[in-house]
Chains A and B, each alone.
Chain A
Amino acid sequence: AQSVTQLGSHVSVSEGALVLLRCNYSSSVPPYLFWYVQYPNQGLQLLLKYTSAATLVKGINGFEAEFKKSETSFHLTKPSAHMSDAAEYFCAVRPRSNYQLIWGAGTKLIIKP
């Protein structure tokens, strides 16, 4: 069965520093890959997605992610963290033969002033 691993339930960075949130998936066939953000007591907002076009995907709010097939990874980055980026980030995969989204456990991003 497919699975998604997000390394680190909490990540803390200083404002202005690089943000790196890790996501690895297990699948023999590259799935569709997504990053969603959830602000406290709100729904999930799509940040970006990979659907087999360019391996470097740019999303909203300055985030981007790179699909690396050899590493089965889809890490999320942002060059300079902002206080408003504090939220929980979820990586999800959708097998190409299916429609169910399979989710990682989430990473809470904490921004230090």
Chain B
Amino acid sequence: NAGVMQNPRHLVRRRGQEARLRCSPMKGHSHVYWYRQLPEEGLKFMVYLQKENIIDESGMPKERFSAEFPKEGPSILRIQQVVRGDSAAYFCASSPVGGNQETQYFGPGTRLLVL
């Protein structure tokens, strides 16, 4: 059973460009969470999605950031008009359908560098 997949692993963007980060959850998981890890800090929750629904986006910056989890395909975290402060590691996690939602399984992360 493949784990959580994220791509790209590394992404370099210039200020003002768009960044698109992809996350494929573990097989059988329909809950996806995005976290951001700034340098020298712990992770901070951004958004929680189920298929075709945003459940909680309380951790998302109000502007430029959006997330989706379509019926088919991976979850996408999109950052428009990136700025240097967006440089961070972005981790996606997934958990199973219903039942035991206590454990979130993490992907390897996407490290975004904004020049």
- SS of A interface (majority): strand
Given contacts A42-B108, A43-B109, contact A105 B102 (CB under 8 A): no
CB of B107 within 8 A of CB of A90, answer no
Tell me the residues in window 3-50 of chain B with beta carbons closer than 8 Å to chain A beta carbons. 4, 6, 31, 33, 35, 41-45, 48
Residues on A close to B: CB < 8 A? 4, 32, 34, 36, 41-46, 49, 51, 90, 92, 94, 99-106
Residues of B within 8 A of A105 (CB): 41-42
- Tally of A-B residue pairs with Cβ under 8 A? 55
Instruction: Find out whether the CB atom of B102 lies under 8 angstroms from the CB atom of A51.
Output: yes
Q: Roughly how many angstroms separate A44 CA and B107 CA in the complex, as a whole number?
A: 7
Which of B42, B93, B103, B111 is most buried by chain A, counting CB atoms within 10 A of its CB? B42
Q: Given A51-B102, A101-B35, check contact A43 B107 (CB 8 Å).
A: yes
Kindly state the separation between the CA atoms of A15 and B87 in the bound complex, as whole angstroms: 35
